[in-house]
Amino acid sequence: MVVLIALVVVVVLMVIAASKYKFHPFLSLLLAGIVMGFVGGLDSDDITTTLTSGFGKTLGSIGIIIAFGTIIGAYLEQSGGAKTMAIWALKTIGKSRSVLAMNITGFIVSIPVYCDSGFIILSPLNKALSKHSKIAIPVLAVSLAAGLYTAHVFVPPTPGPLAATAALNADLGLVIVLGLAVAFPVSLVGYFWARYLQKHYSYTEEIESETQDKAAETNKPEQLPKPTPAFLPIIIPIVLIALKSISDYPTHPFGEAVAAQFINFIGNPVIALLIGVFLAFRLKKNVPEADHFHWVTSGLKDAGIIILITGAGGAFGAILQATGIGDFIGTHFADYNLGLFLPFLIAAVLKTAQGSSTVSIITTAAIMAPILASFGLDSGLGRALCVLAIGAGAMTVSHLNDSFFWVVAQCSGMNTQTALKTQTVATLLQGVSGILIILIIGWIFI
């Protein structure tokens, strides 16, 4: 009980340190691990050994994957590939369904690109579309943000769910397939909320004057990559990873000979993402080699921060496992039948309190890793659904302490009150609908 109380206190202090004092989560996760180690009765040598081994084990499984994913995201961002996807979605779905087009665009773009960056990239296009369709900016902004946010918390290789997949030892291909299945209806919840808002927000000429220059700049598709090379770095790795998961089924649908071995090799997340990187290199046409090198460097810089936080989360989780807190929680709380609702609840509390979805996901995964068996989640499907339940909690809710909230508000010209009424409510509806879908899947199949 002392260790459990200490865990609650430590998590609260982490939240306060991050939100009030801007203490970096990398340091707070490591310090939390050290404190929990001493409270849990570990000696100093065991604490340092467990911290370093947990850190290394986590990064050994996903460090390279995160690096490759951020390089792909940097190329899509810098080359204009993300805008190409948006323009393609608008042409395919039609400007008469602009709200839906922006939602789907956000969903696709956020698989490799951080949701904050994705919104900034697509914001000029969003405003230009508002001008031509006469739809209020808040409506399109909420729909776009809903699509971006959903993929951000549910679909690897976005770093948050990727880190949770590694921490919980879940099958990455299964997480991707189930993540897409859950994320798409959750994204549409945001779309329907935006359609509801359309009745209450009308287009104003002020938006047109503010965005005229940016709109003109955005409408230059001839300078952007073509759709096929823009989509391939995302689609091909996901397909390859999914094929590997199918190949690993006990029925061996691809057999056990050369074909299966080849699929298992190219479907390994490291190899699949590396293929995605080389496909992303095709987006550098007409770009100086110096800029090309800078894009890779930019992606790796972003990866470095994410990798360090993820590794610290793994270290924190290893300490919790070594203290035996998982056995205690399992013994005392298993009778409450919380199941998949527990990771959702923990992630939602952390998200609401400190703002970062990624930190919420990594911290919750570290807490859940040693107690999966106690809550009946120690199966392949259970682990994958636990990752998604954490993702649903990590989007509930986005408000004043979340950088994405301010990106959506500021790039769309919304005041704080309007953003709270539109964007914050959207994330609440999406998070709740997400966990409901996940609970139904778990109820049927677990």
| 1-46 tens-digit pLDDT | 677 788 778 877 877 777 677 788 788 888 888 988 888 888 889 9
CA distance 319 to 339: 23
Q: Is the pLDDT of residue 124 over 80?
A: no
What is the pLDDT confidence band of residue 147, given thresholds at 50, 70 and 90? very high
Q: Quick one: pLDDT at residue 99?
A: 92
What is the pLDDT confidence band of residue 323, given thresholds at 50, 70 and 90? confident
User: Which of 269 and 422 is assigned the larger pLDDT?
Assistant: 422
For 278-302, b where at least 16 C-beta lie within 10 A, e where not — what string? ebbbbbbeeeeeeebeebbebbeeb
The whole-angstrom distance between residue 229's C-alpha and the CA centroid of its chain comes to 23
Q: CA torsion angle for 418, 424, 425, 427 (degrees, to 10)?
A: 150
Q: By the 8 A CB rule, do 352 and 399 touch?
A: yes
Q: From the DSSP assignment, how many helices (H) and strands (E) are in the chain?
A: 21, 0
DSSP letter, residue 155: S
User: Which of 219 and 375 is assigned the larger pLDDT?
Assistant: 375
Q: Quick one: pLDDT at residue 221?
A: 42
Q: Quick one: pLDDT at residue 217?
A: 44
SS3 label, residue 325: helix
Give which of 109, 111, 108, 89 is closest to 100, Cα–Cα. 89
What is the pLDDT confidence band of residue 312, given thresholds at 50, 70 and 90? confident
What is the pLDDT confidence band of residue 168, given thresholds at 50, 70 and 90? very high
Lowest mean pLDDT segment, chosen from 3-17, 76-90, 327-341: 327-341
Q: Compute the average pLDDT of residues 169-187.
A: 93
Helix ranges, 110-226 (H): 115-133, 137-154, 159-167, 172-197, 205-218
Lowest mean pLDDT segment, chosen from 226-230, 276-280, 285-289, 388-392: 285-289
What is the pLDDT confidence band of residue 182, given thresholds at 50, 70 and 90? very high
Q: Quick one: pLDDT at residue 213?
A: 43
Cα angle for residues 341, 347, 348 (degrees, 5° grid): 85
SS3 label, residue 37: helix
Q: Quick one: pLDDT at residue 140?
A: 93
Q: Is the pLDDT of residue 327 over 50?
A: yes
Q: Is the pLDDT of residue 274 over 80?
A: yes
DSSP string computed for 48-84: HHHHHHHHHHHHHHHHHHHHHHHHHHHHHHHHSHHHH
> How many angstroms separate the Cα of 218 from the Cα of each of 84, 104, 115, 212, 350?
10, 19, 19, 10, 37
Q: CA torsion angle for 417, 420, 426, 431 (degrees, to 10)?
A: -170
Q: Quick one: pLDDT at residue 326?
A: 61
Q: Quick one: pLDDT at residue 333?
A: 60
Q: Is the pLDDT of residue 209 over 60?
A: no
% of the chain with per-residue pLDDT over 70? 89
User: Which of 386 and 371 is assigned the larger pLDDT?
Assistant: 386
Residue 114 zone, left/alpha/beta (φ > 0; ψ -120 to 50; rest): beta
| 404-413 tens-digit pLDDT | 888 888 888 8
Looking at every residue in the chain, the average pLDDT score rounds to 83
Give which of 438, 317, 311, 432 is closest to 384, Cα–Cα. 438
Which residues span the domain enclosing 140? 2-445
Q: How many CA atoms lie within 13 A of 437 on its CB side?
A: 23
Cα angle for residues 237, 239, 241 (degrees, 5° grid): 65
Q: Quick one: pLDDT at residue 389?
A: 97
Q: Is the pLDDT of residue 346 over 60?
A: yes
User: Which of 286 and 236 is assigned the larger pLDDT?
Assistant: 236
Burial of 125 (0-12, 13-18, 19+ CB in 10 A): buried
Q: Is the pLDDT of residue 170 over 90?
A: yes
Q: By the 8 A CB rule, do 360 and 343 touch?
A: no
Q: Quick one: pLDDT at residue 155?
A: 92
Q: Compute the average pLDDT of residues 85-91.
A: 80
Q: By the 8 A CB rule, do 142 and 424 touch?
A: no
CA distance 217 to 196: 30
| 292-306 tens-digit pLDDT | 778 888 778 877 887
What is the pLDDT confidence band of residue 61, given thresholds at 50, 70 and 90? low
CA distance 148 to 172: 20
Q: Compute the average pLDDT of residues 337-345.
A: 88
Q: Is the pLDDT of residue 313 over 80?
A: no
Q: Quick one: pLDDT at residue 215?
A: 41
DSSP letter, residue 114: -
H or E stretch at 219: none
CA distance 396 to 423: 11
Q: How many domains does one find in the chain?
A: 1
